[in-house]
Structure 1
């Protein structure tokens, strides 16, 4: 018996440190019973640590065997390749494909392996289906205007136009496996396509507030003739009212009727400058989309089913949008 052991327990922070203290005392000749009297660890734990040290001559704890892993690193890599082919494949489907490669594992095991690789199941973001040309045009557009400011161009404010889409119904929900930062990766989004509109609404706004709003007759498609008519009857009065002789820039997207030669010629004759060329399938680049979202939320609160009342409500809610909202 070497005496009573007195230890400042506050300095023992982790089990690794506790193990090191126990082994150090054992090397100095203290028995397991002596060390247990200090109450730094249960007696059974102290005896086990001393026993492991005698067998391995190391203070590192033995790694618990646990349940044997069902797959090798090579098989885990194969699972990753299978998953990357289609991000929307479910864990059950992945387990079945994995089994065909000789790995008997459950869907739960599949989820654990994907989680180890940073892949989690999330609802796919919905984005318009883009062609290679769409992607190339978007990049050209962004590079052209990335350093563009009002001061450099002499433009004081904007006049922004776009048709309001009243798309009914909601696409089905889809889950995809993705890592952090991959929400809008092309392989992780759900492509959507444009649907026929039931009500066609044209409106404009600038930093000075909302401008004119008009609703096309039912079952009327927006073509170059209608578009030129709207620009003449709605756009020109709004520009005159909000800007007078000030310079402004007109922004609309790349819809076929917007790009028609007769429209381009007419806008030139009116001395209206255009922001462009506009990349296809790029509604998110037009700030009026945020205004349409505000308008749509206000209109949907009423849950109207009558077309005439719905059109009247759209006009009413549009008029309530403040200049402050338009500026933001």
Structure 2
């Protein structure tokens, strides 16, 4: 039985006042055997601190533990079993369980690897150029930008994971399953938003390629009304990435004819710099919870969740832009947490 420091202090104080172990036990502070043990420990050691159990001796030295850390940091995807083998080759006999304990002691925990696009040297250079250009921008400046993007929504499990609470034997119960299909139907959508709220959302027709003709039509039918509705005669910037259909000459000419200024140039492989990516993730989770069973219901769910996005949410996403820029600069062009 573990006795708190406060209880041990009270027992020793009563003992010093002349009370016997039996009389102290009568006060029901602790079991009589515990009281006798605490008093005995105090007489022998002069301390109220509990005596530590000897336990088994540590199998590894601090130097060997540092060596293990070096092995792990050389390849952070190495498993504990593989590390145990490397350690053994270095003269340390220890199990994978011991490896995990030693790594935990040194702050190295096992986590699922984050998925981010591969950054080339050009990507990193372009990200730094972009962030240095806009490093002085405030949230108010970013509030004049309309962010846009396309995104796929897959039927049966958009977000890729779902947690359930189940009782023993219910693993394959219908209510505890996440249905999957070999070739899930995918709905492609285009949307835009700014600090003033979400703009237009459009669904790409089935079996329609994402090309410059379709994109120009979207800009004409969806972007222009959003610009007029949210900014009117105020100056704003339009953000889109470097997809081939976005960079087409006909698109650049059309945007120039419409007096729409472009933010950028936008660096490649940089979804962490675009807050609309976070908006897509939120909508996908919400659509998942609706559990649509066919493409029509999923399409309706996407539209409903898009229109339900609050002003507070989009404002927070826009306000995150200075932090995104600062973190990419701090990490010298590498991915940031967003």
Q: TM-score with structure 1 length normalisation?
A: 0.66
Q: Offset of 1:225 from its aligned partner?
A: 2.0
225-234 vs 105-114, which deviates more? 105-114
Q: Distance in 1 between matches of 2:70 and 2:185?
A: 41
Aligned to 2:81: 92
Change (3 A) 1:164 1:99: same
Aligned to 1:219: 207
- Aligned residue among 43, 49, 71 for 1:82: 71
Q: Distance in 2 between matches of 1:112 and 1:320?
A: 47
Q: Distance in 1 between matches of 2:210 and 2:98?
A: 54
Aligned to 2:45: 45
Q: Offset of 1:169 from its aligned partner?
A: 6.6
Q: Offset of 1:118 from its aligned partner?
A: 2.6
Aligned to 1:53: none
The answer to whether 1:157 aligns with 2:136 is: no
Q: Offset of 1:68 from its aligned partner?
A: 5.1
Q: Offset of 1:80 from its aligned partner?
A: 2.2
Q: Distance in 1 between matches of 2:291 and 2:215?
A: 30
Q: Which residues of structure 1 form unaligned runs of 5+?
A: 1-8, 13-38, 50-63, 173-195
SS at match of 2:224: helix
How many residue pairs match? The answer is 254
Q: Offset of 1:77 from its aligned partner?
A: 3.5
Change (3 A) 1:197 1:204: farther
Structure number with bigger Rg: 1
Q: Is the 8 A contact 1:83 1:89 kept in 2?
A: yes
What do the CA deviations read for 1:265-286 (whole angstroms, capped 9, x no partner)? 2212211111111111111222
Q: Is the 8 A contact 1:141 1:278 kept in 2?
A: yes
SS at match of 1:160: strand
CA RMSD of aligned residues (A): 3.4
Q: Where in structure 2 are the equivalents of 1:1-328 lying within 5 Å?
A: 42-45=42-45, 69-149=58-138, 157-166=144-153, 198-328=186-316
Of structures 1 and 2, the one with the larger relative CO (CA 8 A, separation 6+) is 2
Q: TM-score with structure 2 length normalisation?
A: 0.64
Moved over 6 A (4+): 169-172
Q: Offset of 1:127 from its aligned partner?
A: 2.4
67-76 vs 118-127, which deviates more? 67-76
Q: Offset of 1:170 from its aligned partner?
A: 6.8
Aligned to 2:18: none
